[in-house]
Amino acid sequence: MRSLKLPIVAALGVTVAIFMAFFYAPTEAVQGDVQRIFYVHVPSAWVMYLAFFVVAAASVLVLARPNEWRRWDAIAVSCVEVGLVFLTIVLTTGPIWAGRAWGVFWAWDVRLTSTLVLWLIAVGYLIFRSQSPSGERRARLCAIVGIVGAIDIPIIHFAVEWWTSQHPGPTVLNPSGPQLPGAMLVTLFVSLIAFTLLFAALVAMRVRIEQARQRLELSPPRSGAERELLDG
């Protein structure tokens, strides 16, 4: 029951965030209702940053603390997987919003392309992991891929400042202060908190699964039937 507390709080937070996105936040004057995608797109991008920051930290610890590699490897793979879900949401909601606001669904500019590169790195990480025998060597190789993926995060974030981009610049972390009306800013912050809680709940679930897998691997099965169960 204790393990359900965080998912329930996260689900409540998300429900409040959706309600606010449709009934509290005002309609944007130029773009109209399509701008409401902002309340899913930006929090998902924030969670994607957070996930790959944790991946980088856990991956460094896999390499730096060989005695504790199992613990950090479980956290790293969990964050890559959950981060990939939010990354997919960013890459889905962004083009849908752009299709209406820009008139094109995709532009090969640096922010969009570097986000797609991170998605490919995350997919590659999970494919490599599923195809390699488990153990410390796999954890160390995955850690290197995780660190390479995380290097893409500052490129994604600063792309709109370093290069000319179709994607708009920061509206909240703007050097001259947030460029949003109060009600939009409040809705965004509620969505950010709700998505962060959702991320924490999903990662906690995924880490528990990974730790259970590690326990199974550490205690070899006693019979052929059990071995079949493990493989399945």
Q: Is 88 in the site for another protein (CB under 8 A)?
A: yes
Q: 93 — phi, psi (to 5°)? A: -70, -35
Write the interaction track for another protein spanning residues 21-50; mark x where CB under 8 A is met and - where it is not.
x---------xxxx-xx--xx--x------
| Region class of 106: left (phi > 0), else alpha (psi between -120 and 50), else beta | beta
Q: What distance in Å separates the CA atoms of residue 178 and residue 187, rounded to the nearest whole number?
A: 13
Contact at 8 Å (CB) between 198 and 83? no
Task: DSSP for 181-231, please give it.
Answer: -HHHHHHHHHHHHHHHHHHHHHHHHHHHHHHHHHHHHHS--SSHHHHHHHH
**Residue 103: left (phi > 0), alpha (psi -120 to 50), or beta?**
left
Q: Smaller CB distance to another protein: residue 150 or 202? A: 202
Stretch that binds another protein, among 129-137, 156-164, 171-179, 221-229 (CB under 8 A): 221-229
CB of 221 to another protein, least distance (A): 7
DSSP state letter for 104: -
202 binds another protein (CB under 8 A): yes
113 interacts with another protein by CB under 8 A: no
Q: How far is the CB of 63 from another protein (least distance, A)?
A: 27
Instruction: Name the one range near another protein by CB under 8 A: 62-70, 81-89, 119-127, 171-179.
Output: 81-89
Q: Using CA atoms, how far apart are residues 125 and 138, in angstroms rounded to an integer? A: 11
Q: Specify burial of residue 73 (Cβ count, 10 A radius: 0-12, 13-18, 19+).
A: buried
For position 89 contacting another protein by CB under 8 A, the verdict is yes
Q: How far is the CB of 75 from another protein (least distance, A)?
A: 15
Closest to another protein by CB, 42 vs 147, is 42
Question: How far apart, in whole angstroms, are the C-alpha atoms of residue 114 and residue 81?
Answer: 18
Q: Which is nearer to another protein, 82 or 147 (CB)?
A: 82
Residues lying near another protein in the complex (CB under 8 A) are found at 7, 18, 21, 31-34, 36-37, 40-41, 44, 82, 85, 88-89, 92-93, 96-97, 99-100, 198, 202, 205-206, 208-209, 212-213, 215-216, 219, 221-223, 226, 229-230
